[in-house]
Amino acid sequence: MLRTTAAVIAGKAARVATRLRGGGGSAFPGLVAERVDPAFLRNALAEVRGGIVVVSGTNGKTTTTKMLVAILRAHGKVVFTNPTGSNFTRGVISAMLGELPLGGRLHADLAVLELDEAHALRFADAVAPTDALLLNVARDQLDRFAEIDHTAQLLARLAGQATRGVVLNVDDSYISRIADGLADGVRVGWFGLDDSAKERLGELQEQDLRDATDVAPPSTGPTDAFLTPLDARRFEMLFGRRGEGGRVGPLELHQRGLAAMINATAATAMARTLLGDHFVSATAKAALQAMAPPFGRGEVIDVDGNPLELVLVKNPAGFTVALGTYAAEHDEAPVATMITINDLDADGRDVSWLYDVNFESLRANGVALTSGLRAWDMALRLEYDDVTVGAVEPDLNRALDRFLAEHRDQPKRIFCSYTTMMAMRRVLADRYDLPEFGEDAQ
Amino acid sequence: MTTAETHDPRDLQIFGEPERSDQPARPGHEGKGVINIVHLYPREMSIYGDLGNTRCLAARIRRHGYAPVVRQHHPGDEIAADTHLVVGGGGQDSGQVRIGEDLAANADRLRGLADDGVPMLMVCGMYQLFGRHFVTVGGATVPGLGIFDLETLGGATRMIGPVVLDTEFGQIVGYENHSGATQLASGARPLGRVQHGHGNNGQDRGEGAIAGHVIGTYLHGPVLPANPRVADALIGWAAQAATGRPFEPEAIDDTTADRARQTQISRLLG
Ligand SMILES: [Zn+2]
């Protein structure tokens, strides 16, 4: 216990130091605490009796985690989560240090943790999750994971560690086949698209990698959740394929698009599993409708009276979904578009994936600027899809200034790789008084 | 007049390509000649943006005044005799397993085309399968086509990262991601010399292979858009194979590609 207290103190000190230097969301305090006490994480979560829930998959982790937490909190639960997006063990500890008493044990009903596929197993080695919510598998930073098959195996092993239940994507064969390899007694729940929306599956995943004949569709029950989109923004979630278990909605999110709707469906399925009979549809609906999107996932910044939207792009499926989401709104005012691509570790160092994204929807209005370390490669990519590019400005700050100045009276959107988003958001936060990275506006 | 145009449901959309680019050129629209491109195994062996190479070739063929027809070859298909350019990419282990039988069935046709001077670009996994054989980490030997005189040994360490090569087409850039280590036989010629990166095996500074008009490389990126001289070399050979006449190129503005390539060269070589 002394050791744990020492670790808490050391970690808290590191956290204060990091904050003073202006670095939000750093993993450094977690590293300090972990050095002092290697069993830190297990201790900290030892009294979280309601469950330790991990959320993983290639796309939508951050949004889904936030939605699940919002639903659980709306039901009166005290939930610990890792809101900073530092989704690996040290990041989880860093996030924890703020609320941790010196005894080192977290007081919460539930922990809901977003975990990166590559780091999820390391976490599970330290702390066995009770439940796992697994969203999808797509190509993401192949230089790190090497192969999509490998990523799928990582998630299968993570699911194998869950002691109580898993909720899986019924439409993604990489995820649905995980149901075959679970520990005895582990409950399987499902989420997915309603039959009426099946033809839109291509918007959510890369069909080219799916071998539909591979897997028989799993059978589902009345507590599994299915998405019925009603129009571009409104949707409903059915429990059971015919709604025999009830429904949530119709409702509308702050975030646009089918991807956000399926994330909400995943979060709702898991919330229902965790809450059981205490789950209230109206409460879930209200929580989802009130939720502000996490930054970079459709966050809108007011820049001199016009909206500026930062859209994080990190892999072909995610970028394609983002472009499809925004292409649908042809009746709104034309939006000025910038694309910023770096190739640092957190962005994915190989930019080949840009050729697996269809940019044709940008033909009508063109792209005002490309920027980042791979600004010229991005412009070249757009040339091959016959999208006109106004200018190429590799320097991010200069590009941002120019984009804001030249499109002052227009709504604006920036599709950005991770490190370019972080850099631009720091600049914008100073100018437009935004909440600190990882914190919410309210 | 309407024509019934059927698309193979197994075909993937190649982004940017016009709607009927898999159909024969309409009469009177053949330009300087029709060039038939075959992309091998787009579903199984094109995971790293490799369809971008085919898009690049088709677009540049058009800009040079020829008419491309883009055929996607799936397992079970036969490669046509009137093929003028062949492209293949990288895949996962599961993809390589699924194409093995088909590749063996088409081996003689592919070797014959290569002997006739039909140009080919094989990237990563397909580059390995165009060698004599591939020995897996477990020791199993997977036979290749033998178009390149080389062998590849599966290894535990992955060679990953950006690459700059010095080649007969000038400096070229790309991104490698492979665990196989490739050894060229003594008479075989590498595509280029590594200035930054690992190359075939991380030891001898060679990268890729070139045999006649067949180019093999580990470079993704995809390799052709940022290195248009390589693309035009392939197109030039293909034009010759298709028309029997020497290549008649047009001037193409490659400013964007040149800036992209130069930026990478400056970053990596300092
Ligand atoms: Zn490769």
Does some domain include residue A40?
A: no
Measured at the CA of B93, the angle between CA A318 and CA A211, to 5 degrees, comes to 55
State whether A377 and B260 contact (CB < 8 Å): yes
Residue B2 has pLDDT above 60, yes or no: no
Is residue A72 located within the same domain as residue A189? yes
Å between B243 CA and nearest CA of chain A: 26
What are the pLDDT tens digits along chain A (442 aa)?
556 666 666 666 666 666 555 444 456 666 666 665 667 777 778 878 899 999 999 888 888 999 999 999 999 999 988 765 555 566 667 767 666 666 667 788 999 988 887 778 888 888 889 999 999 887 665 545 456 778 888 899 999 999 999 999 999 888 998 998 888 889 999 999 998 887 777 667 654 444 444 557 788 999 999 999 998 789 999 999 999 999 999 999 988 788 899 999 999 999 999 999 999 999 999 999 998 877 666 677 888 888 898 888 888 878 887 887 776 555 566 899 999 999 998 888 999 999 999 999 899 899 999 999 999 999 999 999 999 999 999 999 999 999 999 999 999 999 999 899 989 988 888 888 766 554 443 3
Strand pairing category for A52-56 and A306-312: unpaired
Domain limit, last residue, from A252, A269, A290: A290
CB-based contact B189:B210 (threshold 8 Å): yes
How far from chain centre, in Å, is Cα A117? 12
Is residue A94 located within the same domain as residue A236? yes
Q: Which pLDDT score, from 0 to 100, does residue B157 have?
A: 81
Its domain, for residue A398, covers 297-441
Q: Which pLDDT score, from 0 to 100, does residue B16 have?
A: 87
Cα-trace Rg, chain A = 21
In B, minimum Cα distance to A320 occurs at B15
Does some domain include residue A24?
A: no
In A, minimum Cα distance to B264 occurs at A374
CB-based contact B148:B133 (threshold 8 Å): no
Residues A252, A255, A256, A260, CA torsion sign = negative
Active site annotation includes B56: no
**pLDDT class of B229 with cuts at 50, 70, 90:** very high
In A, minimum Cα distance to B220 occurs at A352
Is residue A199 located within the same domain as residue A224? yes
Q: Which pLDDT score, from 0 to 100, does residue A181 have?
A: 82
Is residue A261 located within the same domain as residue A303? no
In A, minimum Cα distance to B89 occurs at A352
Does some domain include residue A27?
A: no
Six-digit token string for A184:
């005895």
Rounded distance, CA B160 to CA B224, Å? Answer: 19
Enter the pTM of the model. Answer: 0.77
Query: Count H helices, E strands: chain A?
Result: 15, 15
Is residue A200 located within the same domain as residue A347? no
A235: CATH:
3.40.1190.10
Contacts B48 to A, Cβ<8 Å? 142, 350, 352-353
Å between B133 CA and nearest CA of chain A: 22
The count of residues in chain A is: 442
Residues 6 or more apart in contact with residue A153 via CB below 8 angstroms:
none
Centroid of ligand 1 to alpha carbon of B90 (angstroms): 5
CA dist A403 to A406, A431, B119, Å?
A: 5, 15, 44
Contacts A356 to B, Cβ<8 Å? 15, 49, 51-52
Q: Which pLDDT score, from 0 to 100, does residue B270 have?
A: 85
Of A149, A355, A380, the CB nearest to B93: A149
Taking CB atoms and an 8 Å cut-off, how many pairs form between chains A and B?
99
Does some domain include residue A286?
A: yes
Residues B61, B65, B66, B67, CA torsion sign = positive
Does some domain include residue A182?
A: yes
Rounded distance, CA B168 to CA B179, Å? Answer: 26
How many structural domains are present in chain A? 2
Domain limit, last residue, from A272, A290, A308: A290
Domain limit, last residue, from A225, A259, A290: A290
Residue B236 has pLDDT above 90, yes or no: yes
Of A142, A143, A352, the CB nearest to B221: A352
Tell me which of B39, B198, B213, B220 is the catalytic residue. B220
Is residue A246 located within the same domain as residue A305? no
State whether A143 and B42 contact (CB < 8 Å): no
| Residue carrying the six token digits 């600190």 | A436
Which of A350, A358, A388 is best to mutate for the B interface (most B CBs within 10 A)?
A350
Six-digit token string for B237:
């050979």
Contacts B8 to A, Cβ<8 Å? none
Q: What proportion of chain B, given as a percentage, has pLDDT over 70? A: 97
A364: CATH:
3.90.190.20
Burial class of residue B115, CB neighbours in 10 A (0-12, 13-18, 19+)? exposed
pLDDT in tens, B140-198: 888 999 999 999 998 878 899 999 999 999 999 999 999 889 999 999 999 999 999 99
Is residue A195 located within the same domain as residue A84? yes
Is residue A374 located within the same domain as residue A392? yes
Is residue A285 located within the same domain as residue A301? no
What is the amino acid identity at position A401?
D
Is residue A171 located within the same domain as residue A243? yes
Active site annotation includes B124: yes
Does some domain include residue A366?
A: yes
pLDDT in tens, B67-109: 999 999 999 999 999 999 999 998 877 777 788 899 999 999 9
Is residue A186 located within the same domain as residue A269? yes
Q: Which pLDDT score, from 0 to 100, does residue A32 have?
A: 60
Q: Nearest Cα to A271, choosing from A133, A135, A162?
A: A133
Residue B3 has pLDDT above 50, yes or no: no
Does some domain include residue A96?
A: yes
Residues 6 or more apart in contact with residue A109 via CB below 8 angstroms:
A48, A49, A50, A72, A77, A78, A79
Rounded distance, CA B91 to CA B251, Å? Answer: 34
Contacts B256 to A, Cβ<8 Å? 376, 379-380, 383, 392
pLDDT in tens, A283-329: 999 999 998 877 666 677 888 888 898 888 888 878 887 887 776 55
Does some domain include residue A12?
A: no
- Is B92 within 8 Å of chain A by CB? yes
Of A149, A384, A394, the CB nearest to B92: A149
Beta strands in A306-377 (DSSP E): 306-312, 336-340, 367-371
Rounded distance, CA B7 to CA A437, Å? Answer: 48
Is residue A285 located within the same domain as residue A312? no
State the virtual CA torsion across B253, B258, B259, B262 in degrees, nearest 10: -170
